[in-house]
Structure 1
Amino acid sequence: MTFAEQPHGSWPTPITSEVVVAAAVRLAELCVDGADVVWSEGRPAEGGRTQLVRRAPDGTTVELLPEDRNCRTAVHEYGGAGWWVRDGVTWFADWADQRLYRLAPGGEPEPITPEPATPRADRYADGDVAPDGATIVCVRERHTGSASTDVQNEIVRLAAHAPSEPEVLVSGPDFVAAPRLSPDGGTLAWLQWNHPSMPWDATQLVVRDLTTGEETVVAGGPGESVLEPRWEADGSLLFLSDRTDWWNVYRFTPGADIESVVRINAEIGVPSWVFGTSRYAVLGEGQVVFARSRAGYDALVVRGLDGSLTELDLPFSAIRTVRAAGPGTVAVVAGSPTSEPGVYTVDVVTSEYETLRAPRDLGIDPAFLSVPEPITFPSVDASGARRQAHALFYPPTHPERRGPQGELPPMLVEIHGGPTSAASTVLSLDVQYWTSRGFAVVDVDYGGSTGYGRAYREELLGEWGVIDVADCLAAAAYLAAAGRVDGARMCIRGGSAGGYTTLAALAREDTPFAAGADLYGVADLEALAADTHKFESRYLDRLVGPYPEAREVYVDRSPIHHVDLLSSPLIVLQGAEDAIVPPSQSEKIVDALRSRRVPVAYLLFEGEQHGFRRSENIRRALDAELSFYGQVLGFELPAEEGIEPVVVENL
């Protein structure tokens, strides 16, 4: 094969910003209702709204919501589990007013929760319909003022088919989640936790006899995170716990000891940033089917009745949702390094699968797609002691281009959010947008990331802004020393918590990064502690220290107080309606750079919250960042794409 030489970054590619957003959907949640499968689609081309799609066994599909409806809950601001189904009826939270609606087949949405005194003050999520179909239990988040302390999180019960005043069942804990009714409807299970813990730190699984009111704490507490309670037909209760370092499956049976169901040195659970995660399912025959993560790659595994574990032979590397879907079958949302997520059913005996909702047909030659390589590399902790960190490395990939002779590629160091999230191996055109142009990308799973056990996740406690930065610097140094990237043209980018790490890695005298991109990131930890929503209002207690007692640490680790060290060009991208990291955070860092005449570009997107959902804004953000790197690193943009240059001040 003959390659034409062309500067890295300027390679022509079919993966344009238009292709990134064209017919793009975000598939995450699905439910099974009888023989039908229902899933949600986040649609950037429709203003970022979420639509629900129901598929019958004969392959026919129907969109459930009218065009003016957006199924999305604002509970915890991150949402999730804003809808559920039973016997053809759909219940959903509408984004506009946050009330709960009932939608019968062929009907129109009808509100079943009262209109609150203040618009959007009552928010609903994570519902479960009683076995008799008459009532619903769900999470309600009630806002009585503007401060994070003016928020109550409760579990309520309400009529399923007519308007009613919700009855409060659980109140008192700072947070509640996953209310689940037993098969006979007589027992309620739920998760609860209190500040300053997050749900991946310390949660309790509680059950209550709804007749006697007797409560039992089944599992959890300090040092244990419990997730995803699931009732079995015999009245026993499955759940995930990280009591042995990994989120594995356990069973509670009244009157008996907790039983280990799946014990494996791999992660089954994921951090509960959103409600309704489902990483395992119980089949009617008694098998447990679960997704497990190891070294960044997922697999689907079946636990047989004899306790044996069988890994299915499937092409998927990332599995977001697992639901029981009939005898010997599960429905999943899954993807691979060369395929975006789709909806599938899988036969757990034969490993055969059927496509229910295919990934979009990209029409892209697979030779343009970079496949991630898991890497482990040396790093250090806060004391300088040696330890190991992890990442996924994407080499630049193109079937017809290569860089000039002897020239190594520039690299983008990608920092995920959370910070307890993780790099994903599913095909992301956001990544391929860069690699097909000649960039290398390394997606860093720094200490604190999920997928490597609780001990690795807890390496970040008290060390945010230290361990994450050290691992990003170590990944860059490791790849430069290996001769895989150009050490003089390494850039760093990240959103949310990743934006904070990006700024912290740039605001130092020894930064190796030639430029950076901050997407709605944190510049001032003190401001974040004082001005954020309830869910994360005490998060920094564990990541940094209690405030104001640890104020000196907050100041020392805030990039805004080290702008004198920030000399690398920076582009900042921000949503105007972000309630998690308000625009004031981004504007502080931009104003500081302007005053020091450091090259800076700033784009504020109206109508966007924490993360961009509208196709036109996703496109502009990507292209602006490419234009920024082109100006800073000195390469030309492909003329055929017609990219509008971003204004870089002080360049």
Structure 2
Amino acid sequence: MVTTAPYGGWTSPIDARTVAAHDGRPAFAGVVGDEVWWTEPRPGEGGRRALVRLRPDGTEESVLPAPWNVRSRVLEYGGQPWAGAVTERGPLVVFSNFADQRLYAYAPDSDEAPRPLTPHSAVGDGLRWADPVLRPELGEVWCVLEEFTGDRPTDVRRVIAAVPLDGSAAEHRASVRELSDDRHRFVTGPRISPDGRRAAWLAWDHPRMPWEGTLAMVARITGEGGFADIRPLVGDLGPGEPHGGAAGESVAQIEWAADGSLLFVSDAGGWWQLRRIDPEATGDGSASGRALCPARQEEFGGPLWTVGQRWFLPLDNGTLAVIHGLGATSLGILDPVSGELVDAAGPWTEWAPSLAVHGSRVIGIAAGPHSSYEIVELDTCTGRARVLACRHTDVLDPAYYPRPLHRTFTGPDGRDIHAHICPPHNPDHRAPEGELPPFVLWAHGGPTGRAPLVLDLEIAYFTTRGIGVAEVNYGGSTGYGREYRERLRGQWGVVDVEDCAAVARALADEGTADRARLAIRGGSAGGWTAAASLAATDLYACGTISYPILDLTGWATGETHDFESRYLDSLIGPLDEVPDRYRERSPLHRADRITAPFLLLQGLDDVICPPSQCERFLAEVAGRGIPHAYLSFPGEGHGFRRAKTIVRAVEAELALYTHTFGIARDDVPALELRG
């Protein structure tokens, strides 16, 4: 029976505990012998990341019990936290443990406990490790070493290092061999050529972010296992490099082909495209490599937020497994000689940049509009794709899932704006004739990122209650080419705000949304956009702001981590050149313009967007008569991982909307708003 009830007042089969239990996704898939391994979230276990293995007989088991947390803090966003290999004693895995950031070695089929490989350091935030490559023939693991040299977030150096597997460096930093020098601020883990004679990795420097300019570095591996003749081969060979070259080229990934050539993804042509280059090329900027699929104007790579991401991998037969697309992504097999690309069939429309190969099999992590992220295997011999693990199970009748529509809107100056529109949907309810629904505009984080078109139970939480959601991939988002991505250059707080507002107004103009009941929300960079939107326009009735940036000057002068400490040079402009712009755009200094109620959510352990930003903002808001609530969460960092936190945050957000929109509900705790 279908019940008529006002939008926002519908009865939903999904509660906040269900949302929390299914938060997060599997990541960092790999192959150890004939087994598939990955990490997966455990919100109910304090938000730890478990390392899971799938045996050939289909048995799935957690490799390490709680509280082991397989997660690296390199760049704060982390990266590939584990590597495995088969030895005479069975599988051997090396992993980064989140609590102390030490590397550990563990043989899961033995009776031995994990043993530390790396030492503690009392300097700053110590030593961190990521993107490991096991070299059992050398008795070492090669990886990124992030070493703090002082107490400031920017007192840090990064190199590629070799850690002994025998544990001799567990108490002695001097036993760690440094393979690369620290001429570059940032490096990824090494990729070893098939003949073992060369290594390649990515490097970049402040003020550029990795999607603005990176270098592919190559070196000769000496007989003693060191690096020699280190030089840049391709990429952003800027003024600091001896050969000059193309400025602003982002190389997102590199891998060796079986013939000894280097495969890489570069956006020199405006799209992240696959290319091949001879490693003996001069590196003078004139040899950009041969494009392998030049007919496709779409992305074969993405922003390198974490080290170890993989959008492609070579297969034994010479073809390449590739993740590619325009907005949405597919997994395909590319013939690098003919340029022919054949996509895997299946319901998945989004593939995470986490590929592994084993013979003719490709392992990936994929989701779709009606399924959560799953571990998927593609057999390239048969063309058949199947779910191996983390199989999506319907926790509610799929009839209640959102019905997202990808739409392109027109923004200022006639520019395109991409968005996913999820109208209210609940088969048990309909709204009274003539009523328009409330809508919440979701601004994604990054801002160099995008909102994928996948099943999200948090969206379903709202749409099944009669509240629409619009995910806006505003100018600056990835997935639509470099030109679209660079719309935000110097315009953060302008273009993103305008694009979200343009989508909101269009939905109201066409009668899809109630103009009087529009809201905006976002986390991290999306929290910035939400706060900046409330200060820039009276379009929104309220907003939810999570772990945001609110004070640009503070964020640019020591209040964030090293990785993003110069991000604002491109998003806003260099601070010493445009200091007034930093003040004029910051919600902290525009608090007097905010009149709409808001909810502010913050993790107290956040070192990327620290609580001090919220505290100063709240001091500016105090006494202005703006209804607001502030919820802070001890033990949470940048983004919420614990089930209890997620439940409280989701229910508080709904409570804000029901209060502001005048919706009667008694199934969520009341939110105390202060003026």
TM over 0.5: yes
Distance 1:54 1:648 in 2: 46
Pick one of 257, 277, 294 that aligns with 1:252. Answer: 277
> 2:93: which partner in 1?
90
Q: 1:224 aligns with which of 249, 257, 262?
A: 249
Pair 1:557 & 2:585 matched: yes
CA gap 1:23/1:464 in 2 versus in 1, 3 angstroms? closer
Paired residue secondary structure (1:404)? coil
Question: Does the alignment pair 1:173 with 2:184?
Answer: yes
Query: Could you tell me how far apart the structure 2 residues matched to 1:131 and 1:217 are?
Result: 28
The answer (yes or no) to whether the contact 1:30–1:40 under 8 Å persists in 2 is yes
* 1:343 to 2:371 alignment: no
List per-residue Cα deviations over 1:342-367 (Å, max 9, x = no partner): 11111235442232213352331111
SS of 2:411's equivalent in the other structure is strand
- Residue 464 to residue 402, structure 1, CA distance change in 2 (3 Å): same
Which residue in the other structure is 2:119 paired with?
A: 114
Provide the secondary structure at the position in 1 that maps to 2:622. Answer: helix
Cα displacement (A) at 1:460: 0.6
Show the counterpart of 2:330: 299
Q: Residue 191 of structure 2 aligns to which amino acid in structure 1?
A: R
Q: Deviations over 1:106-129 (max 9, x none)?
A: 231111112223485000011112
Matched ranges for 1:495-510 at <5 A: 495-508=523-536, 510=537
| Alpha-carbon distance in structure 2 between the residues aligned to 1:278 and 1:154 | 20
- 1:306 deviates by 3.2
Q: Distance in 2 between matches of 1:5 and 1:427?
A: 26
* C-alpha contact 1:529 1:540 (8 A) present in aligned 2: yes
**Residue of structure 2 in register with 1:188 after alignment:** 199
Alignment correspondent of 1:241: 266
Change in 2 beyond 3 A, CA 1:120/1:647:
same
Tell me the distance in 1 between the aligned counterparts of 2:35 and 2:138: 18
1:144-185 Cα shifts (integer Å, max 9, x gaps): 222133111111112234333211122121111132122232
Report the more deviating stretch, 462-471 or 274-283.
274-283
State whether residues 448 and 459 of structure 1, in contact with CA within 8 Å, keep that contact through their aligned partners in structure 2: yes
1:431 aligned partner: 459
The total of aligned residue pairs comes to 640
Does structure 1 retain, via aligned residues, the 8 Å contact 2:45–2:66?
no
For 1:28 and 1:150, locate their aligned partners in 2 and report how far apart those are by CA, in whole Å. Answer: 29
Corresponding residue for 2:671? 646
- What residue number does 2:243 align with? none
Alignment of 1:56-455 (within 5 A): 56-87=55-86, 88-105=91-108, 106=110, 107-118=112-123, 120-130=125-135, 132=137, 134-164=139-169, 165-170=175-180, 171-211=182-222, 213-221=228-236, 222-255=247-280, 258-263=289-294, 264-294=296-326, 296-304=327-335, 306-380=338-412, 385-455=413-483
**Residue type of the alignment partner of 2:56:** P
Quickly say closer, same or farther: Cα 1:532–1:461, change in 2 above 3 A: same
Tell me how far 1:136 sits from its aligned partner: 1.9
* Aligned residue in 1 for 2:242: none
Change (3 A) 1:24 1:202: closer
1:131–1:183 Cα contact (<8 Å) kept: no
Worse overlay, 369-378 or 322-331: 322-331
Deviation at 1:37, TM superposition (A): 0.4
Taking the aligned partners of 1:351 and 1:394, their CA distance within structure 2 comes to: 33
Deviation track 1:244-263 (CA, whole Å, cap 9, x = no partner) reads 11111111223465221233
CA contact (8 A) 2:351 2:365 kept: yes
Aligned counterpart, 2:502: 474
- Amino acid of the residue matched to residue 55 of structure 1? L
- Counterpart for residue 535 of structure 1: 563
**Distance in 2 separating the partners of 1:326 and 1:549:** 51
Name the TM-score, length of structure 2 as normaliser: 0.92
Give unmatched runs, 5+ long, in structure 2: 170-174, 237-246, 282-286
Cα distance in 2 for residues equivalent to 1:135 and 1:458: 41
Secondary structure of 2:664's aligned partner:
coil
Paired AA for residue 374 in structure 1? H
Match of 1:618 in 2: 646
- Measured in 1, the distance between the counterparts of 2:57 and 2:617 equals 55
Structure 1 residue 267 displacement after superposition: 1.3
Residue 573 of structure 1: which of 586, 601, 615 is its match? 601
Q: Contact 2:130/2:189 (CA < 8 Å) preserved in 1?
A: no
Opposite residue 250 of structure 1, the aligned amino acid is R
In 1, Cα distance between the equivalents of 2:354 and 2:673?
45
Residue 12 of structure 2 corresponds to residue 13 of structure 1? yes
Unaligned runs of 5+ in 1: none
Note if contact 1:189-1:207 (Cα within 8 Å) is conserved in structure 2. Answer: yes
Q: Relative to structure 2, which stretch is displaced further, 157-166 or 86-95?
A: 157-166
Give the drift of 1:3: 3.0
Shift of 1:412: 0.5
Give the Cα separation in 1 of the matches to 2:623 and 2:528: 20
Mean Cα deviation higher: 545-554 or 597-606: 545-554
Aligned partners of 2:313 and 2:357 also within 8 Å: no
1:516-540 Cα shifts (integer Å, max 9, x gaps): 0000111111111121111011110
Summarize deviations over 1:521-565 as a string: whole Å, max 9, x none.
111111111211110111101111111331100011011111121
TM-score (norm 1): 0.95
2:660 counterpart of 1:632: yes
Q: Distance in 2 between matches of 1:350 and 1:474?
A: 46
Question: Take 1:316 and 1:352, find their aligned partners in 2: how far apart are those partners?
Answer: 13
SS in structure 2 at match of 1:535:
coil
**Structure 2 residue 46 is matched with structure 1 residue 47:** yes
Match of 2:550 among 501, 511, 523: 523
Query: Is this contact kept in 2: 1:96–1:120, CA < 8 A?
Result: no
Distance 1:300 1:425 in 2: 15
- Return the offset for 1:199: 0.5
CA distance in 1, matches of 2:393, 2:61: 20
Amino acid at match of 2:145: R
Q: CA deviation at 1:131?
A: 7.2
* Equivalent position amino acid for 1:559 in 2: P
In structure 1, distance between residues paired with 2:428 and 2:442 = 26
Counterparts in 2 of 1:291 and 1:518: CA distance versus 1, 3 Å: same
Aligned CA distance change for structure 1 residues 103 and 119 (closer, same or farther; 3 Å): farther
Instruction: Give the superposition deviation at 1:14.
Output: 1.3
Tell me how far apart the structure 1 counterparts of residues 197 and 414 of structure 2 sit (CA, whole Å): 53
Secondary structure at the aligned position of 1:9 is classed as coil
RMSD over aligned CA atoms reads 1.7
**Residue 130 (structure 1) shift:** 3.0
Structure 2 CA distance, aligned partners of 1:173 and 1:327?
35
Amino acid aligned to 2:183: G
- Indicate conservation of the 8 Å contact 2:31/2:358, yes or no: no
CA distance in 1, matches of 2:23, 2:552: 34
In 2, Cα distance between the equivalents of 1:325 and 1:554?
Answer: 46
- Residue 457 of structure 1 deviates from its aligned partner by 0.6
Distance 1:307 1:442, change over 3 A: same
